[in-house]
Amino acid sequence: MEIRNLGTSGLRVSAVGLGCNNFGGRIDLDASRKVVDAAIDAGITLFDTADMYGGRGGSEKALGEILGNRRKDIVLATKFGMAMDDHDIKIGASRRYIMSAVEDSLTRLKTDYIDLYQLHKPDPRTPIEETLRALEDLTSQGKVRYIGCSNLPAWQVVEAHWTAGTSGTYPFVSCQDEYSLVVRDIEDELIPAANAYGMGLLPFFPLACGLLTGKYRKGAPMPEGARITKEDRHAKRYLTERNWNVVEGLANFAEHHDRTLLELAFSWLARREPVASVIAGATKPEQIRQNVKAIAWDLTAGDMAEIDRICGRDN
């Protein structure tokens, strides 16, 4: 497993990370344990979760139960900011909430520090300086090692870095956002900003909710039990005429090279700057092994240019 720096920070992460959003929800503790064991055996060191995953706390609790002494051997990332109650109290990025949210996460995870603590979404009610100063205090206390952000538009990433520089606080070292062969909007503004500030990128939904696994074909029956099949909101978003055409072209490209669409999706992301680790969820150990194997395709500059052409990003 290749190990990379997260941007220009000193934090080192595996090129494939494990998204833990299935724990405590889609799969039970025993199934989660098997996935974690397979990930560690495969050399994955980055485990990414959030306080709200698994029905508000379920994913963090599962990891806390499973990791034990292996906690010290991994990079544990979690997030805060999404609603953790129905009363609009346990939410956001204020100092008041951050100080309690981190204690709750530490308790569920059964650890005394978090390697990467990430703001899960923008909080329009809280000045970014207040958020950064609270996170600075957590870092000084040793409860947090590095800080990152997720789902922030490029202008807010720039604002956060400017604020960190002028206030003398630690900046975000990473951004976690959706990025895949069919969702490439962040290339226009966010990726240039991340590169300018030395931030690592942690793409989620690398397979576009399964569309890039190869199991979906236009005009063919939808796979039973798959995420897009079960969730109408994902079907409406991903199953567009444009995406079907792109996926067909990508599938033909992969087949021409005796590779799978899954391998293309992962290897392409691993080749993109400033991607540090490709975060993918799993419900079974065999998916872990497939994901780790999938980044081994060493795409050439010519391959990358052809992929851009297929995706309509060659202008």
The catalytic residue positions are: 53
Transcribe the chain into DSSP letters. Answer: --EEESTTSS-EEESEEEE-TTBTTTB-HHHHHHHHHHHHHTT--EEE--TTHHHHHHHHHHHHHHHGGGGGGSEEEEEE-S-SSSSS-S-SS-HHHHHHHHHHHHHHHT-S-EEEEEE-S--TTS-HHHHHHHHHHHHHTTSEEEEEEES--HHHHHHHHHHHHHHTPPPP-EEEEE--SS--GGGTTHHHHHHHTT-EEEEE-TTGGGGGGS---TTSPPPTT-HHHH-HHHHHHH--HHHHHHHHHHHHHHHHTT--HHHHHHHHHHHSTTB--EEEE-SSHHHHHHHHHGGG----HHHHHHHHHHHT---
